[in-house]
Structure 1
Amino acid sequence: MPINFGIIGTNWITHSFIKGAQSTSKWNLAAVYSRKEETAKEFAARYEGQKIALYTSLSDLANDTNITTVYIASPNIMHYEQAKQMLSAGKNVIVEKPSCSTPDELDDLFKTAKEHGVTLIEAFRHIQEANFKILKNSIEKLGTIYGASITYAQYSSRYEKVLAGEVPNIFNLEMGGGALVDLGVYCVAAAIDLFGAPSDSQYFPVKIATGADGAGKLILMYPNFSVYLCHSKIYNSDTVNEIYGEKGTLVVPSITDVESVVWWDAKTKGREELAGGKEPVELNLKEEAAEFARVIEEGDREALSRYEKLSRDVLGVLWKARMDNGLVFAGGK
C-alpha cells in the first residue's frame, strides 16, 4: 500500500516532491495544509482524481489518522515547531533542508521522533541521486585526497526585490533566510557526505541590504586537506566541481542534478566518463522519495542513523558559520 502523506508548504519544491514521490507508486498525496483555504484548494486542484483532505489547522492535520507521514517545506524558521507537532502526533516527518535553525532544535526533534517511534529525515535530495552515489563510490580512485572545490551559485529573481528595498523571505534573517542555508547547504551536505565532518570551518559571507548573506565562501578543514565551497543567490557561476587526488581528479558539472561524473587520470592524462544520464528534471526528487519510502517501510535503522549523523554534522557547520558572522535568525537562533 502507498504511504499516505500530507504536505506543509505550498511552493514549487513541494510540487516537485509530490511528482517524484507519486511516480514511484510508493506515495499517495492525501492532505494539504495551508493557512488559507483558497491556497490549499488551488494547490490540490493540480492533482485531479485524488482524494485530498484540505486543512488550515496544523492540529487537524496532526490528528488525521489517515496520514502517516508529513513532508514539510515551509519557510525555514517554521520547520522546528511544525516538525515537533507532527512527530509528537506520531507522524513520520520529511523536512526540507535546512532541518532547523539550531543544533538544540535538531536534538529535540530526533529525541521526539525516538520517543514516539517515528522517523525524521532531512531532504538532501542530491545525495540520493544515482550519479552522486557513483561520484561517492569513485572517491577511492583518487588515492590520497588533496582537496576539493564545490560551487552552487544561481541568481535569484527575488534579489531584485531586495534591490528595490523589499525583504523577501529567502533573504530575511527573521524567516531563517540567506544564501548559506538555501543553496550553500547543498554544498555542505555534499562535502560531508563525501568526506565526513570537518575538523574546523570558516565562512566568508557577502552580506546584502537585508542583513542576510547573499553569497559566500566556506572553507572546510580536514586533517590533511581542505574543501572550498562557493554559493550564491546574487550571481551565477558555471564553475565545475572537482575533487583532487594523488591519482587523478573527479569532475562533475554541478553538485545537484548531476549529469555526468568524469575521471581524469593523472598518469595517463586520459578521461573516462563514469556516469551519464539522469532522471528528468521534472522528476529530480524521485530518487530521494523512493529511498525515503524504503527506509520508512523497512525501518532501516542503519540508514536512518547515517542520515541523522549527516543532518547533525551539516547543521553544526551552518550554525558555526552563522554565529561566527552575526547571521542571527528570529529569537536569537
Structure 2
Amino acid sequence: MKLALLGTGMIVKEVLPVLQEIDGIDLVAILSTPRSLATAEELARQYGIEQASSDYEAILSNPAVDTVYVALPNHLHYAYAKEALLAGKHVICEKPFTLRAEELEDLVTLAAERQLFLLEAITNQYLPNFFWLKERLPELGDLKIVTCNYSQYSSRYDAFKQGEIAPAFDPKQGGGALRDLNIYNIHLVVGLFGSPVSVNYLANMEKGVDTSGMLIMDYQAFKVVCIGSKDSSAVISSTIQGNKGSLTVHGPTNSLPEVSIRLNGQAEERVTLNRQPHRMADEFMTFRDILAQDNRVLAQAMLDHSRAVMRVLDLATGQQ
C-alpha cells in the first residue's frame, strides 16, 4: 500500500507512528490546508513522507500513491473520497463514512465501476476482542437487552457554550455526539447483530447540534440502547444481556480494551485478546492485506457493514 494521508489533525498525528511500524505500508504523501502546510512538512520530515502539499491535485497525480486515507472533518469525507476514486486511487475513509447514505452509495458505485477498494476506518470491527464477543454470543441464550454508553465530557464543550464552535460541535461540519462517539456503539451493535428493524434517536440539542443522545434500536426479539455524550460523563461500558448470562465491554467501544462473560451461576471470565499496542493497528494491517491479496470478498463484507451503519445514521439524523 502506497498511502497518502489527508489531514494533519489529531487522528493523523495519532496514527502516523502506528503506520510507520506496519510492514507493507509506505507513507508517500500528506495533504494539509495552506495554513497547516508547515505542520504537514514537519510530519513529513518526522515520518519520512516524500510529499507534503496543500494541493490535492498534486497528490492525486502522484503515480507513487495508490491509496488515499481521508482523515478530514466529517463534512469533507464525501468530496475528497470521490475525487480520489475518480483519480483511480483506493480509498480508506475515517468514520463516519459520509454524512448521508446517498453520498456513500455514490462512492460505492464509483468504486465498483473502477474496481477500486473503498473501506471505512472503524477500529472495533477489526479487534480480536470483537471477534471474541461474536464467538461467545450464542452462550447467552435468548438476547433481551443491549446497552452501550460512550460518554465523555468534551474539552471543547465549555467553549461551545460560550459561543466558540469547534468542528466537533458544528452541525454544518457533521459534528455532534451521534457521529463522534455513538457511531462506535452503532458499529459494534450492527457488527454483532446486523440491521435493526427500527431506529429512534432522542437527542439533547444545543445550538442545532446533538451534544448527547440515546439511540434506540429495535431488533424485535431484543432491544438496544446506545448512549453517546459530549456534554456529560459516565462509566464507559457496554453490556449484552441474555436469559443465560451477559457479555460486557469494559471501556470504550472504539478500542474494546477488555471484555468479559458472566453466565448464570458462574464466575465472571475476563479476557483481552487485543495484542497490538494501538487500536488502529489491526484495521490498517487488514486493509494492507485486502489490497495485497485483492480480497474482494472481505472488502465487500466490510463495505456492506458500513452501508448498514450509514442507514442507521440516516434514520437517526432525520429525527434530530
> What's the TM-score, normalizing by structure 2?
0.95
Which of residues 98, 101, 104 in structure 1 aligns to 2:99? 101
Are residues 183 and 51 of structure 1, via their aligned partners in 2, closer, same or farther at CA, if it must alter by over 3 Å? Answer: closer
SS at match of 2:133: helix
Q: Distance in 1 between matches of 2:260 and 2:136?
A: 10
Which of residues 288, 293, 302 in structure 1 aligns to 2:283? 288
| Matched ranges for 1:1-333 at <5 A | 3-36=1-34, 37-47=37-47, 50-208=48-206, 210-254=207-251, 255-266=253-264, 268-275=265-272, 278-280=275-277, 283-325=278-320
CA contact (8 A) 2:66 2:90 kept: yes
Q: Distance in 2 between matches of 1:274 and 1:172?
A: 38
CA contact (8 A) 2:128 2:274 kept: no
**1:213: how far off?**
0.5
SS at match of 1:46: helix
1:239-277: CA deviations, max 9, x gaps? 4211011211111112232222211111x2322224356
User: Unpaired runs of 5+ in structure 1?
Assistant: 326-333
Are residues 324 and 69 of structure 1, via their aligned partners in 2, closer, same or farther at CA, if it must alter by over 3 Å? Answer: same
Q: Distance in 2 between matches of 1:303 and 1:16?
A: 26
CA contact (8 A) 1:91 1:118 kept: yes
Q: Which of 64-73 and 131-140 deviates more?
A: 131-140
Q: Distance in 1 between matches of 2:269 and 2:33?
A: 51
Q: Distance in 2 between matches of 1:240 and 1:14?
A: 26
Letter in 1 for 2:107: L
CA contact (8 A) 1:23 1:286 kept: no
**1:79: how far off?**
0.5
CA contact (8 A) 1:187 1:229 kept: yes
Q: Distance in 1 between matches of 2:154 and 2:46?
A: 26
Q: Distance in 1 between matches of 2:275 and 2:226?
A: 24
> What's the TM-score, normalizing by structure 1?
0.92
1:141-172: CA deviations, max 9, x gaps? 11211121111111111112112211111100
CA contact (8 A) 1:219 1:227 kept: yes
SS at match of 1:30: strand
Q: Distance in 2 between matches of 1:82 and 1:187?
A: 26
User: Unpaired runs of 5+ in structure 2?
Assistant: none
**1:200: how far off?**
0.4
SS at match of 1:77: helix
**1:20: how far off?**
2.1
Q: How many residues align?
A: 317
Q: Which of 34-43 and 156-165 deviates more?
A: 34-43
CA contact (8 A) 2:128 2:273 kept: no
Identity %: 31
